[in-house]
């Protein structure tokens, strides 16, 4: 992670196919395409890879989350349970539909704590959305049982975890819908893009139509298509899809490199006092996109991270103070800052997060450092990096 590190001739060939046809839009212009349908090809490849019936491409991972929820009927006033540790896109997508993001604690998986989720369910809850941050998953079996018990949707935000599995199923395929991001810093990149996967035909049809202004996509005359319901423009372009076609075909190679580099780092850090690692739920296999480890205290984690930065060890993250990925710095959500008035359902239903404390999340995230696993490292570079990281941690003890 990220796939752009290994851009090459395969990506160029796919993009040139689109440029040679002259058709950059995924819909219409059938006679000019010369048989090139990159978005359809990528959807087919993704569905097969994820062992599901349907895939729908979108313009981003944020769009994928928005369209996935919309396709399943999530709307104004519905509550969506999310973790305190995620990217801002998760709650942005919820708010875009007039729904209400309900933040709950994470546990030692760095994802949704099932007991916190159970306590947060109300009569307005519509979705439980685990976010598989940094390449690993929540306790999906427990969350799926809660969904079954309370008749809720399980929507997986697998944007950072393509290639991981749980109980033998690809992440994203375990719930009712799964979402991926193909932005520039993901394991598989389109430059910009995202996707939804599902086994539900109605969700697929809704997603296909909703993401293209409500077009029903029936017949061969785009201008004559009808619009059965309101939609928006969340389309991906053929150019972006073309890059994704090449990248997805290389996913196994990317995952192999991630696992190799991850393992070198972990095997070195395992011998360092005070270092423990995030829990991967039983039956789960990470995508190895990040190595996340805990130190014994928040103070030590901050000291180690600061030293890593000062010593030139890049791509290590201390999420507790991060502007984009942890609730403490989401002032625009906490204070409900918006360019225009928020919907009444949101204003009435959004908890007073400015006075809410998530002590359990703080205990885990405050002690966490995550190292991005790069694809372009040589084995020597990874080994040197591992030794340097271990030496730095020891020096801070």
Beta carbons of 195 and 182 less than 8 angstroms apart: yes
User: In the predicted model, what is the mean pLDDT of residues 251-277?
Assistant: 97
242 shares its domain with 314: no
Tell me the pLDDT tens digit for each residue of 188-197.
999 999 999 9
190 shares its domain with 268: no
3-state class (DSSP) for residue 126: strand
Number of domains in the chain: 2
The b-or-e profile of 259-285 (16+ CB within 10 A means b, else e) is: bebbebbbebbeebebbeebbbbeebb
Q: What CATH number is associated with residue 355?
A: 3.90.1150.10
Phi, psi of 198 (to 5 degrees): -165, 160
* pLDDT the model gives residue 318: 98
* pLDDT the model gives residue 284: 98
* pLDDT the model gives residue 385: 98
311 shares its domain with 238: no
* pLDDT the model gives residue 334: 94
Number of C-beta neighbours around residue 37 at 10 A: 17
Q: What CATH number is associated with residue 60?
A: 3.40.640.10
Tell me the pLDDT tens digit for each residue of 161-188.
999 999 999 999 999 999 999 999 999 9
Q: How confident is the model at residue 381 (pLDDT cuts 50, 70, 90)?
A: very high
**DSSP class of residue 186?**
S
243 shares its domain with 266: no
41 shares its domain with 65: yes
- Of 250, 270, 287, the last residue of a domain is 250
134 shares its domain with 272: no
Lowest mean pLDDT across 31-35, 204-208, 227-231? 31-35
233 shares its domain with 261: no
224 shares its domain with 276: no
225 shares its domain with 333: no
- Of 208, 233, 250, the last residue of a domain is 250
- Of 208, 235, 250, the last residue of a domain is 250
pTM assigned to the model: 0.98
Tell me the pLDDT tens digit for each residue of 98-113.
999 999 999 999 999 9
106 shares its domain with 233: yes
Beta carbons of 182 and 206 less than 8 angstroms apart: no
151 shares its domain with 179: yes
Domain that holds residue 241: 3-250
132 shares its domain with 237: yes
- Closest by CA position to 319, among listed 368, 373, 372: 368
Tell me the pLDDT tens digit for each residue of 110-129.
999 999 999 999 999 999 99
């Amino acid at each position: 992670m990220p796939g752009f590190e290994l851009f090459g001739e395969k990506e160029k060939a796919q993009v040139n196919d689109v440029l040679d046809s002259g058709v950059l839009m995924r819909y219409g212009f059938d006679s000019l395409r010369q048989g090139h349908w990159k978005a359809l090809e990528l959807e087919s490849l993704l569905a097969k890879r994820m062992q599901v019936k349907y895939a729908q491409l979108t313009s981003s991972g944020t769009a994928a989350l928005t369209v996935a929820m919309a396709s399943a009927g999530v709307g104004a006033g519905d509550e969506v349970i999310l973790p305190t540790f995620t990217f801002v896109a998760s709650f942005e997508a919820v708010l875009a539909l007039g729904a209400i993001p309900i933040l709950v604690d994470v546990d030692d998986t760095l994802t949704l704590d099932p007991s916190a989720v159970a306590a947060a369910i109300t009569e307005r809850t519509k979705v439980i959305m685990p976010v598989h941050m940094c390449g690993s998953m929540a306790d999906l079996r427990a969350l799926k049982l809660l969904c079954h018990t309370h008749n809720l949707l399980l929507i997986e935000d697998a944007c950072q975890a393509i290639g991981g599995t749980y109980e033998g199923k690809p992440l994203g395929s375990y719930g009712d819908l799964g979402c991926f991001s193909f932005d520039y810093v993901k394991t598989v990149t389109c430059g910009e893009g995202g996707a939804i996967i599902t086994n539900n035909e109605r969700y697929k049809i809704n997603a296909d139509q909703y993401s293209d202004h409500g077009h029903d996509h029936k017949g061969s005359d785009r201008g004559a298509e009808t619009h059965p319901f309101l939609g928006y423009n969340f389309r991906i372009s053929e150019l972006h899809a073309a890059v994704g076609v090449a990248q997805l075909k290389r996913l196994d190679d990317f995952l192999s490199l991630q696992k190799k580099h991850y393992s070198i780092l972990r095997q070195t850090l395992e011998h360092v006092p005070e270092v423990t690692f995030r829990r991967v739920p039983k039956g789960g296999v990470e995508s190895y996109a990040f190595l996340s480890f805990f130190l014994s205290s928040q103070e030590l984690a901050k000291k180690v991270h600061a030293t890593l930065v000062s010593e030139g060890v890049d791509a290590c993250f201390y999420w507790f103070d991060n502007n984009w990925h942890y609730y403490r710095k989401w002032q625009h959500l906490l204070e409900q800052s918006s360019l225009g008035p928020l919907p009444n359902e949101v204003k009435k239903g959004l908890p007073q997060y400015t006075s809410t404390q998530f002590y359990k999340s703080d205990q885990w995230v405050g002690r966490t450092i995550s190292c991005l696993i790069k694809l372009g490292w040589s084995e020597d570079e990874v080994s040197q990096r591992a030794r340097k990281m271990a030496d730095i941690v020891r020096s801070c003890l």
